[in-house]
Structure 1
Amino acid sequence: MNQKLFVYQLLPRLFGNSSSTNKFNGTIEENGTGKFDDISDTVLQKIKANGYTHIWYIGVLAHASTTDYTAYGLPHEYPEIIKGKAGSPYAVRDYYDVDPDLAASIPERMAEFEALVRRTHAAGLKVIIDNVPNHVARNYRSINKPEGVKDFGEDDDTSMAFSPQNNFYYIPGQALEIQLSLQKSSGPAYNEIPAKATGNDCFSHRPTHFDWYETVKLNYGVDYLHGKQAHFDPIPDTWIKMGDILLYWAEKNIDGFRCDMAEMVPLAFWRWAIPRVKDKFPEVIFLAEIYNPSAYRDFLAHNVFDYLYDKVGLYDVLRDVSCGYRPSSDITFALNSVGDIQHRMLNFMENHDEQRLASDYFLKEGSKGKAAMIVSCCVNSNPVMVYAGQELGERGMDEEGFSGKDGRTTIFDYWSVDTLRRWNNNGRWDDAQLTGEEKELQQFYRRLIILCNEEAALANGLFYDLMPANYENREFDSANLFAFLRSNKKELLLVAVNFDNRIHECTVDIPHHAFTFFEIATTGKGTLKPLLHAEGKELAFSPDSPPHISLDPYSGEIYKISFS
């Protein structure tokens, strides 16, 4: 059986931090930080036992921070071009190094990361890390690059706004002027002359605080100042450098790359680089962060990327449905829009960019996201991602510093996460400090995820939408309920969820065409056995009489249909 991928996303700086100080805008000395070593065999085995197949470690690559590591030979940093005390994991200052914040022994930081990879594999899990190809930290300088490798920008002609062989874009004759920097340097100020273009395609020497002012855009041979003219022959120098970086990490037994803002990099580069990696490492997967549906199929064509984010489709619709802003029937349209590629879309309800389900800006309680998670996990054979703490109902309502109180867990500040810290319980990684509600939610996630690979129909079966058959069903509320079938032509499962705040007693019409579609024989009496909630009762079922079921608020059930 092909295994359905479940990705557990975590930021080591937050995940293993057991300090409860949490001073607003605190330093690493004040608030502490998680380390590679905190991700122990114990917790890795727990993550594996919870049904996950992969861990996406974010913030691994060395990125700009305000913490002084010059005593270890690392470059001096400038707070005015850094967001937060810890800095953004996506402002990489050295592609060939790992973040020293995460090391127990800074000189041994790479060895500690390699040991984490081995521990993760020993637990039966695979490792995904970020590739950040579109931009680098303003003060990028690699001290860990292999011998003979030149830095980005080292040979650039800075007198030219654009050259196909330059690594950066420039604003000749203009010095960088950041309009609003929340941090000031106690030492010499940062100077950039000429100014480089900013990472979010801001071709100005005066980026605002709304821009990604802490980063600079990499040049892949596209002339943005002249209608995005492409200059890909000869191969741009940036292509070669980034291709070598991907191979460097693949050689460290990485199992996959999540490619940050992949659509901001020319598709031609990915079509050139990914086959070169897969030629040597055929099992490595590539996952694209992408938000432009019109480009989805191009990024998947010829097996360039393995999977894409499904953010502007299923995530956005499930968020609106969960909040009561749209009818649940709209889920059908979101799925249909990617129907032929839905099995290659990554589903999620949280990640480091999005607000927590339990935040005041979303559902206020993690348990209210159960219906959305059932749909995310069960609609197809595609991968699913959970953000660390989501399964505990983490609220993300801290005011950490640069991040502010925005319903997200900070990626910019030194901090510890309440639910994760209590689950950690000084390295025990047990449930002793969790509340009853948190334990129940954790158990729900565990059961749902494990079920998706226990049941072949969920792991790699076909999908049949029951919504069209129930629009005229007066005993089925198509504004608040959603139902579908999954089958591998051997087992047949009915999945039904309730996005409403009250119990729904309903019937679900299953057309005879569904049984024909799945080649399921319907002779004899049928039963519906609940799988998600073991305490549920089996129900009698007949193909000629729709089953009557009860769905709890914000939740749902997975029923196995069988015939005697």
Structure 2
Amino acid sequence: MAALISSMIFTASGCNQKESKKTSTTEMSEPHKMVVYQVFTRLFGNTKTIQKPWGTLEENGVGKFSDFTDNALKEIRDLGVTHIWYTGVPHHAVIRDYTQYGISNDDPDVVKGRAGSPYAIKDYYQVNPDLAEDPGRRMEEFEALIERTHQHGMKVIIDIVPNHVARRYEGRNNPAGVKDFGADDDTSVAYHRDNNFYYIPGSSFKVPAPLDGYRPLGGDPHPLADGKFEEIPAKWTGNGSREAQPHFYDWYETVKVNYGVKPDGTKDFPTLPEDFAQKDFRTHAEFWKDKDVPDSWKKFRDIALFWISKGVDGFRYDMAEMVPVEFWSYLNSAIKMENASAFLLAEIYNPKEYRNYIHLGKMDYLYDKVELYDTLKNIMQGKGSTDHLVPIQQGLADIGKHMLHFLENHDEQRVASPDFAGKAEMAKPAAVLSATIDRGPMMIYFGQEVGEPGAEYAGFGKPSRTSIFDYIGVPHHQRWMNNGKFDGGQLSAEEKELRDFYKRLLNLTKGSPALGGNYLEIHRYNRQNTEWYNDRVFAYVRWSEEQKFVIITNFDSIQAFGFDLELPADLVKDWELPAGDHRMLEKLYGEKQPILQVSGGKAKVRVDLKPLESWILEL
């Protein structure tokens, strides 16, 4: 058993326990975990409660940069947030006439929804005009939001979408000397290293054949909605389709960016030396300084540095694994040379590539979607066992601090939707686990903290996810906004309790030294040795020199469970626990004070968990 226990102990840095105690005072003075609040910017401040499918901005309303008032930002910060990810900021294709501001009209045949996808960027050097009180001063309004966010002690993250751009990209705000995507492309060939796009010579683009009775804008008349879009020659579609007429379920509103990967998959650029996984970003930056790289690399480097110069503190990279890892080394090292503390988060879904994108690509954080999130979703839906959590944390032991945890984001179903769990409270044990199981950041999606179910049919797409394509109100979130007061004045008692839970959890997460230290799961030990302990609960410990936590969660929504939770002898020895009774304090609500009984080198504490209850016990 001693060997088993030893194999279960993971430290924050992957080193042994004695080494992990060398954490400096400076490091410990920072938040022990980062907390990201993803907010869909155009929906956040919208107070209109009309829910007309395919409704216009005037009918259904839209949020603005200015809706993030000092009071709103204070409430977000007080929730426990360290970083705000403002989703949908760069100017993307949108069905609205802004020609008076020098913006061309977009074609509904190659735009999803009326408000457009935030991942079909039209101009990387501007922001979405929908979000400004005065579209002519939209950049200044966003710069003011950056400043307000910083004044409230939080950092700003925005999206960069490197794999694709809008079908009609028009960089009308390019800085001096910056040429537009595709401006110098040789369109007579399918591929050239310095082309920004891939082409289908001799073919014209055709709008996808609609499915399921789909009509752009729900059938509302529009002068450009004619089933045609001129693109000669046709370009490859964003998800890699090489058809001149992509499928309706392809990313037809976008075109794929060429990073110097030939159509046969071979690389047409320098590769990194084998030992560069161990090198820091400065060494990576030095490596690329004299290298000849594809034109698209330079364009996205300039885009990222433009936003860093505006005061943006980091980026969330959409579909990062569809872009070669060598590019990420080039880009991220350039960003870090400008801002060493920049927050760089990648949407990655292939666990086999995690370490490459962290160590070679110099990513700070990756989505922990296909392992922790998917497993927790199955458990919440009653389809999985908490036993399945053990190998996940074992497998991520060396990179756990790089994995960002979440239960909702703009791509995933709302927990409260019938297609997921049906009740927002079902997320409580999973939220506790996600926030405390390792050093990786925790992220919540706006409205999650008040139980938003994503039930609105907005137009493009189906309910269970809050729409990212159309103008719509977000009802539970609107009740928290309370017409701009941001005081939760219209929330139900259950919604207030849920937000209070998240506020307690996230602030505890941010301020607890134990969560910056070691991890040991005691689940398997108790499965073998503790009566009534089962695979609907999960227990582990987190500790540092300053603090010791025992964390136990109950994922069952019906059954309460009571048992004497045991701490393994090796842990008792490592914690140097003397024999006797030691009072513990439950940290989430501060009410329960169970006794840890230590005798004969063993320890146990009585735990009585209500359905969906979690205890974070401090020794």
Q: Distance in 2 between matches of 1:71 and 1:346?
A: 42
1:93-136 deviation line (CA, Å, top 9, x unaligned) = 00000000000001110000000000000011110111111100
The equivalent of 2:253 in structure 1 is: 214
Q: Which range moves more in the overlay, 172-181 or 433-442?
A: 172-181
Residues 68-83 of structure 1 correspond to what in structure 2 (within 5 A)? 68-83=97-112
Instruction: Give the TM-score taking structure 2 as reference length.
Output: 0.88
Aligned counterpart for 2:232 among listed residues 171, 190, 193: 193
1:48-92 deviation line (CA, Å, top 9, x unaligned) = 111110000000000001111112110121000000000100000
1:186-239 deviation line (CA, Å, top 9, x unaligned) = 237421111000000111111111100000000000012x24343457311111
The share of aligned pairs that are identical, in percent, is 43
Q: Distance in 2 between matches of 1:389 and 1:539?
A: 37
SS of equivalent residue, structure 1 residue 525: strand
Q: Which range moves more in the overlay, 499-508 or 44-53?
A: 499-508
Residues 410-425 of structure 1 correspond to what in structure 2 (within 5 A)? 410-425=467-482
Instruction: Give the root-mean-square deviation of aligned CA atoms.
Output: 1.4
Q: Distance in 2 between matches of 1:538 and 1:474?
A: 17
The structural deviation recorded for 1:426 is 1.3
The code of the aligned residue for 2:179 comes to: K
Q: Distance in 2 between matches of 1:395 and 1:186?
A: 35
Kept after mapping to 1: 8 A contact 2:328/2:361: no
- 1:430 pairs with 2:459: no
The equivalent of 1:6 in structure 2 is: 35
Q: Distance in 2 between matches of 1:478 and 1:346?
A: 27
The structural deviation recorded for 1:288 is 0.7
Q: Distance in 2 between matches of 1:222 and 1:357?
A: 39
- 1:395 pairs with 2:453: yes
Residues 69-468 of structure 1 correspond to what in structure 2 (within 5 A)? 69-181=98-210, 182-183=215-216, 185-187=222-224, 189-224=228-263, 226-232=264-270, 234-301=292-359, 304-405=362-463, 407-458=464-515, 460-468=516-524
Kept after mapping to 1: 8 A contact 2:237/2:251: yes
The code of the aligned residue for 1:473 comes to: N
Q: Distance in 2 between matches of 1:521 and 1:546?
A: 12
Kept after mapping to 1: 8 A contact 2:71/2:486: yes
The code of the aligned residue for 2:518 comes to: L
Kept after mapping to 2: 8 A contact 1:14/1:415: yes
Q: Distance in 2 between matches of 1:328 and 1:127?
A: 35
Kept after mapping to 2: 8 A contact 1:489/1:520: no
Q: Distance in 1 between matches of 2:238 and 2:255?
A: 4
Q: Distance in 2 between matches of 1:294 and 1:235?
A: 26
1:513-562 deviation line (CA, Å, top 9, x unaligned) = 11334x4433442122111122324335325352111112122110112x
- In the comparison of the two structures, how many residue pairs are matched? 557
SS of equivalent residue, structure 2 residue 584: strand
1:269-293 deviation line (CA, Å, top 9, x unaligned) = 1111211121122121211110010
1:244-281 deviation line (CA, Å, top 9, x unaligned) = 00100000111111111111111111111211121122
Kept after mapping to 2: 8 A contact 1:9/1:55: yes
The code of the aligned residue for 2:358 comes to: L
Kept after mapping to 2: 8 A contact 1:317/1:331: yes
The equivalent of 2:59 in structure 1 is: 30
- 1:484 pairs with 2:513: no
Kept after mapping to 2: 8 A contact 1:9/1:58: yes
The code of the aligned residue for 1:295 comes to: E
Kept after mapping to 2: 8 A contact 1:200/1:212: yes
Kept after mapping to 1: 8 A contact 2:326/2:361: no
Shift of the 509–474 alpha-carbon distance from structure 1 to 2, 3 Å rule, reads: closer
SS of equivalent residue, structure 2 residue 63: coil
Kept after mapping to 2: 8 A contact 1:260/1:289: yes
1:123-163 deviation line (CA, Å, top 9, x unaligned) = 11110111111100001011111122100001111110000
Aligned counterpart for 2:551 among listed residues 470, 475, 495: 495
Q: Distance in 1 between matches of 2:461 and 2:61?
A: 17
The code of the aligned residue for 1:159 comes to: S
The structural deviation recorded for 1:22 is 1.7
SS of equivalent residue, structure 1 residue 299: helix
SS of equivalent residue, structure 1 residue 489: coil
Q: Which range moves more in the overlay, 523-532 or 140-149?
A: 523-532
- 1:475 pairs with 2:531: yes
The structural deviation recorded for 1:454 is 2.8
1:348-397 deviation line (CA, Å, top 9, x unaligned) = 00000000111101111111110000000010111010000001010011
Kept after mapping to 2: 8 A contact 1:470/1:476: no
Kept after mapping to 1: 8 A contact 2:569/2:603: no
Q: Distance in 2 between matches of 1:422 and 1:18?
A: 9
The equivalent of 2:571 in structure 1 is: 514
Q: Distance in 1 between matches of 2:499 and 2:519?
A: 27
The code of the aligned residue for 1:228 comes to: T
The code of the aligned residue for 1:485 comes to: V
The code of the aligned residue for 1:223 comes to: K
1:426-472 deviation line (CA, Å, top 9, x unaligned) = 110012100000000000000011111332112x1211100121122
5+ residue gaps, structure 1:
none
1:153-195 deviation line (CA, Å, top 9, x unaligned) = 0111111000001000000111111223531752374211110
Instruction: Give the TM-score taking structure 1 as reference length.
Output: 0.96
Shift of the 284–545 alpha-carbon distance from structure 1 to 2, 3 Å rule, reads: closer
1:305-337 deviation line (CA, Å, top 9, x unaligned) = 111110001001111111111111111111112
Kept after mapping to 2: 8 A contact 1:528/1:541: no
SS of equivalent residue, structure 1 residue 257: strand
5+ residue gaps, structure 2:
1-27, 271-290
Kept after mapping to 2: 8 A contact 1:490/1:520: no
The code of the aligned residue for 2:129 comes to: P
The code of the aligned residue for 1:425 comes to: N
- 1:541 pairs with 2:597: yes
